[in-house]
Structure 1
Amino acid sequence: MENFYVFIMMCILLILLPGPDTAIATKNTFSVGKRGGLQTMLGTCCALLIHTTAAVLGLSAIIVKSALLFSIFKYVGAVYLIYLGIKTLWGLRNKEVAATDEMNSENKYESKSCFKQGFLTNLLNPKVAVFFLTFLPQFVNPGHDTFLPFLLMGATYTILTALWFFFYIYLLNQISAFMKKPRTQMVFEGITGTILIGFGLKLAMEKAHH
């Protein structure tokens, strides 16, 4: 394996770029709380480990090279993101100022789906598979076995992602008092819902790489 420190720096830059995973983690942290954000992060990291395993076993290469499989993942992922966006916007219609105990009971219910949202958002994004197949090989010695290097890089990327989201969620939780004001939350959820739909439409128009 070559230039591991360069790989780490590139990972950090890529992780800091906002995407669907960041949008979901942000939404769930503000709407459910720190617990919801951490569950979302855990779901995202579990999906990354599956992508790592798929890359190690060569499954990602099959998905990227197969137009049909790529399209299936792409459209299912896009529909899921659009569904989450519409669900967020639809929730604004019936959103009323609730008592604290009602909000807490609702948050306990909502937190159960945070892991699933983080997991599916990342797992159903074929761009992650493309990333692993195009980015990781650049740091492997030509002609050498890729099993351990891919495993190490995938684990490193997952750990860095977890560290960033843990820090990010902690910061969001610090300003949650302001964000939990009904009007602020409605504006934020409206913006987040629109962004999720935008990510879904962008993913749907993504072309397979051959």
Structure 2
Amino acid sequence: MKIQGAVVLITSAGSAMGRMLSQHYAELGAKLVLCDHQPHLLEETHTLCNALKASTISYTLSTTPTDDVDALLEYIEQTYQQAPDILINHWPNSAPPSLLLASEHINACLTQWGRMTNNFFVFGQRCAQRMRQSSHPGVIINTVSFNRVNDEHAMESTNAMLMGFTQSWAKELLPYQIRVGGVIPHSQSKHGQHHDYAELTRHTEYIVANDYFSGRVVTT
């Protein structure tokens, strides 16, 4: 798929990796839709992309953004008269609860984890639905960043979950010309560094540009 002129929706765009993804696709000439639930961080990303002369709109999500996704997609279709061509579904820095976690912290951690999983899935499901309705090819890229996670086992658990989503979604969406790929960091020793974010970002571009890439995950 050609990136220049494509409508690219980036979730968690205010995070460190989300910001790098946004700037990269701005430089490639995409029409950007940036969303996050942290308005000040989202605005910083928006400003940087505007400085690159990119067509950019931003959308602030609530702290429980599931209910916002349909409204956001309606806004995109009103603005650009089409569904997103590309969804970069970014999971930022949230690991599953440990079995060894103290009992008093379990409920809070499970609530956060459930919210993250739900939002990640809903973005994929709603975007796929809009792409199908528009009857033109689309791309969904699942990616994750770990800028504060120190537990390598937690990192492996999250990566495995994203790999599972990517492979199952790709099989479901194959008949509709919607490709699904994934990009995940490989080792704990590298994650969280800006050059690693840059490498992850370049791999997302590779997936978009390679029309035969689907159902696989690039590990960097």
Taking structure 2 as the reference length, the TM-score comes to 0.29
**Larger radius of gyration between Structure 1 and Structure 2:** 1
Q: Which has the higher contact order (CA 8 A, sep 6+)?
A: 1
